[in-house]
Structure 1
């Protein structure tokens, strides 16, 4: 059965990578993963927003990509070393901080693709998203971290689990299974996974291939490719058969593909 996160929206899916920050917005100081960036993606018509989860010193899950604040705010401290109040002050003129709870509450029609970046955030993410599992996909480069979040959501006892995308170990197992042409190993690697979210290439290794797409689709798993900002690449990948595009320019992708 198709998870509600996928239902009712015809592929190709456009996932707004860390929200939407146009060149004009960036020039005005708006940062990725800010309240303003999520609002801009929503206003552009994006059904899906991809974001990242960290935990503050006082235990609040916030949407933020980096482990520390250096690149976004110039503050060298780690997210885990600042309170949510301090982070709100630092983000006040950068589009505003947005917590995970605020995102789910303020944008009730948006479907979130959440990458659990910090191990200590996994349980909190799972618990918070449990009541909203119909419109949340949980992922992480770490399959262990991803499964911890899913287990926390299940423990909250709110019905269906969030959708989920395989981590690095899962993707490696799928590619290895394809290399030895073992359908049994492919099926085992994809068990319990709703999507594979991958780059087209990892170094010199091609990840997104017709064989990968065919295998994933045989098992009811979608393939979403990150991070694609060129319209020609969007068309090429969709023509190849990918189900979703993760992009910094959701506005361009929506115009290009829909």
Structure 2
């Protein structure tokens, strides 16, 4: 049976990569951004990447240059080495492990965990990051949901953690934004894997929310989250379809 997405994920706006703001010394997916989101009462979305020694780290990019100034893929570092790499625009803060972030959040706000595609082409070569994540998440006590752009990753989490709600991150898959083959983009765009992977929800690219397939899922009662909202005006437009928003660059309003 597919687990339901807890109501908390629909009631509380979700801070994209936590409540980051580099002007305030809070890089994305950082401890400082996570603390700020908790203090403000927002849900938190984080990203996971895998290290050379099979540990789940809270980090978005495959290559570390943009976020640390140090070139090269995080996959080539051990967890200890990654923790020692300082994030740009921080007070010498290193890359956090998933275990540390779980201890920080500790159920205080909803936690939405995105597992980054490890196949490289949204294919079936997945498993190591999902297993590392499940090992840490299995003992977590608090509102939790897991998602991935790669439906095969979502399916793996359904096997590993059948009681935790999981979703597919979905998109218009425009060619200019996705270094994938046309066949893969055309396949993923229509979200055909939703039932196969026993997904509980989707998180869709906000400006594509009027897509018929999204409307069809909504009519079925599937919760619709969206990404990434960057202004109150975008939020107002997105909420005509979406049940909740993932936001950055402004402070989303809490429900009355």
Specify the TM-score bucket, using the shorter chain as the normaliser. Answer: 0.7 to 0.9
1:19-98 matched pairs, under 5 angstroms: 19-25=18-24, 28=25, 30-46=26-42, 48-91=43-86, 93-98=91-96
Q: Structure 2: state its 5+ residue gaps.
A: 119-125, 172-184
Task: State whether residues 170 and 202 of structure 2, in contact with CA within 8 Å, keep that contact through their aligned partners in structure 1.
Answer: no
Choose 1 or 2 for highest CA Rg.
1
Q: CA RMSD in A?
A: 3.1
Equivalence for 2:204? 198
Q: Structure 1: state its 5+ residue gaps.
A: 155-160, 178-185, 202-206
Tell me the distance in 1 between the aligned counterparts of 2:22 and 2:45: 19
1:236-255 matched pairs, under 5 angstroms: 236-238=237-239, 240-249=240-249, 252-254=251-253
Tell me the distance in 2 between the aligned counterparts of 1:172 and 1:40: 38
**Bigger share in helix:** 1
The Cα offsets for residues 187-210 of structure 1, whole Å up to 9 and x where unpaired, read as x84462221111134xxxxx3118
Tell me the distance in 1 between the aligned counterparts of 2:59 and 2:189: 30
The Cα offsets for residues 144-176 of structure 1, whole Å up to 9 and x where unpaired, read as 12212332224xxxxxx211112559x977975
Q: Point out the more displaced range, 52-61 or 111-120.
A: 111-120
Tell me the distance in 2 between the aligned counterparts of 1:145 and 1:4: 18
Question: Across the two proteins, how many residue pairs are aligned to each other?
Answer: 230
Task: State whether residues 5 and 135 of structure 1, in contact with CA within 8 Å, keep that contact through their aligned partners in structure 2.
Answer: no
Q: TM-score, normalised by structure 2?
A: 0.77
Q: TM-score, normalised by structure 1?
A: 0.76
